C-alpha cells in the first residue's frame, strides 16, 4: 500500500477530548471505530448485510486481515453476525434464533424458550423523570420520559411484572397499542419503529417481597418472594436508552446465568 510496509497512518482522529493521551491505537481498532460509526449512522439497517471484507479493506486501504480482526471484535460484542458463505449482517433482536436475547428467565423443566409471552399493557404514559430515573438515563430531573407498565404471562400464568422508562426524545409517539400489537421482542419494535438498537445491558438482581398490588397482578400471595431485576440497556457508545424494573415469579422458572 505505502512505501514502507509498516508505516501505517495513525494520523486519524482517535481522541475527541483534548486530553493529551499518548494512546497507541492499533489500526484494526480504528477500522472498528469507523465501521461502528457507519453502524450508528444507519448506513446499514438491522438484518442487512454490511459490505464484504474485501470491499471494506479496499475502502479503508488496509488488508483484509485487518478488517477481519475489526469485524471479529464487533461480532464478539454481538453487534454483527457472521454467516459463512453469505456475508456479515447487522445484528437484530428480531429473527434471532434465541428468542429473547436479554431475558434470562427460563422454565425449570428444561426446554429453552416456550412460545412467545402474552403481553398485557397496563399503562403507557408520558411523564417527567424522577431524580433517580434521570440519573440512570443520563437526563435531567423533570425531562420527559415514557413509562410503561406491563405483565408478561407464559402459558397463561402471569410471571413478569415490569416497568419501563424510556427517554422522551427517541421514543416520541410510542403507544400502548403498538406495544400490545407487535410480534416478537419489544427490542425489535424499538429497532424498527424508533431506530434504537440495544446493544448491551447491566442488571442488578435482588430478592424482594411482593406488596399487595404486585401480588395481585402476579397472582401470588402478598409477601411472596420475587426476583427483582433492574436492567439498564445501552445503545452504541454506552448511551443508556432504557431503564427497566422487573419482578419475576420464580416458582416454576429460574434466572439462568453462565459464569466464565
Partner DNA sequence: CAGTGGTCTAGACCACCAA
Partner DNA sequence: TGGTGGTCTAGACCACTGC
**C-alpha distance from residue 52 to each of 57, 88, 89 (Å):** 9, 7, 10
Here's the x/- map for a copy of itself, 185-224, by CB under 8 A: it reads as ---------------xxxxxxxxxx-------------xx
Closest distance of CB 12 from DNA, Å: 11
Q: Which is nearer to DNA, 98 or 109 (CB)?
A: 98
Is 89 a binding residue for a copy of itself by CB under 8 A? The answer is no
Query: For 75-99, b where at least 16 C-beta lie within 10 A, e where not — what string?
Result: eeeebbbeeeeeebbbbbbeebeee
Closest distance of CB 108 from a copy of itself, Å: 8
Closest listed residue to residue 116, CA positions, set 100, 94, 96, 95 = 100
DSSP state of 233: E
Closest distance of CB 221 from a copy of itself, Å: 10
CA–CA distance, 211 with 208 (Å, rounded to integer): 9
Q: Please select the residue that binds a copy of itself; options are 10, 37, 52, 78, rule is CB under 8 A.
A: 78
Question: Cα–chain-centroid distance for residue 66?
Answer: 27
With 0-12 CB in 10 A as exposed, 13-18 as middle and 19+ as buried, what is 49?
middle
Q: Please select the residue that binds a copy of itself; options are 9, 77, 123, 193, rule is CB under 8 A.
A: 77
Q: Helices marked H in 116-160 — which ranges?
A: 131-137
In the list DNA, a copy of itself, none, the entry touching 26 (Cβ below 5 to 8 angstroms by class) is DNA
Grid cell in block for residue 89: 449482517
In the list a copy of itself, DNA, none, the entry touching 260 (Cβ below 5 to 8 angstroms by class) is a copy of itself
Q: Which is nearer to DNA, 60 or 234 (CB)?
A: 60
Q: Is 148 helix (H, G, I), strand (E, B) or coil?
A: strand
In the list a copy of itself, DNA, none, the entry touching 53 (Cβ below 5 to 8 angstroms by class) is DNA
DSSP state of 238: G
Closest listed residue to residue 245, CA positions, set 129, 160, 171 = 160
Which residues contact DNA by CB under 7 A?
1, 5-6, 8, 24, 26-29, 50, 52-55, 62-66, 68-69, 82-88
Is 118 a binding residue for a copy of itself by CB under 8 A? The answer is no
Stretch that binds a copy of itself, among 1-9, 50-58, 98-106, 110-118 (CB under 8 A): 98-106
For a copy of itself, the binding residues (CB under 8 A) are 77-78, 101-102, 104, 200-209, 223-228, 231, 248, 250, 254-260
Amino acid at each position: 500500500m505505502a512505501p514502507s510496509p509498516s508505516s501505517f497512518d495513525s494520523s486519524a482522529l482517535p481522541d475527541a477530548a483534548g486530553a493529551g493521551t499518548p494512546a497507541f491505537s492499533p489500526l484494526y481498532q480504528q477500522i472498528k471505530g469507523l465501521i461502528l460509526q457507519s453502524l450508528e449512522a444507519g448506513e446499514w439497517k438491522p438484518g442487512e448485510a454490511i459490505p464484504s471484507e474485501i470491499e471494506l479493506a479496499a475502502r479503508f486501504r488496509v488488508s483484509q486481515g485487518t478488517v477481519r480482526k475489526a469485524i471479529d471484535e464487533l461480532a464478539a460484542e454481538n453487534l454483527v453476525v457472521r454467516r459463512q458463505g453469505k456475508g456479515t449482517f447487522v445484528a437484530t433482536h428480531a429473527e434471532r434464533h434465541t428468542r429473547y436475547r436479554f431475558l434470562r428467565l427460563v422454565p425449570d423443566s428444561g426446554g429453552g424458550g416456550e412460545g412467545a409471552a402474552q403481553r398485557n399493557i397496563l399503562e403507557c404514559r408520558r411523564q417527567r423523570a424522577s431524580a433517580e430515573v434521570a440519573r440512570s438515563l443520563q437526563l435531567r430531573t423533570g425531562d420527559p420520559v415514557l413509562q410503561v407498565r406491563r405483565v408478561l404471562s407464559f402459558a397463561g400464568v402471569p410471571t413478569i411484572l415490569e416497568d419501563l422508562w424510556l427517554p422522551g426524545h427517541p421514543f416520541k409517539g410510542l403507544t400502548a397499542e403498538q406495544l400490545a400489537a407487535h410480534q416478537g421482542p419489544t427490542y425489535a419494535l424499538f429497532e424498527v419503529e424508533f431506530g434504537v438498537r440495544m446493544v448491551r445491558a447491566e442488571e442488578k438482581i435482588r430478592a424482594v417481597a411482593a406488596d399487595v398490588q404486585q401480588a395481585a397482578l402476579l397472582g401470588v400471595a402478598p409477601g411472596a418472594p420475587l426476583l427483582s431485576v433492574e436492567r439498564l440497556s445501552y445503545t452504541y457508545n454506552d448511551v443508556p436508552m432504557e431503564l427497566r424494573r422487573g419482578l419475576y415469579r420464580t416458582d416454576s422458572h429460574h434466572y439462568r446465568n453462565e459464569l466464565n
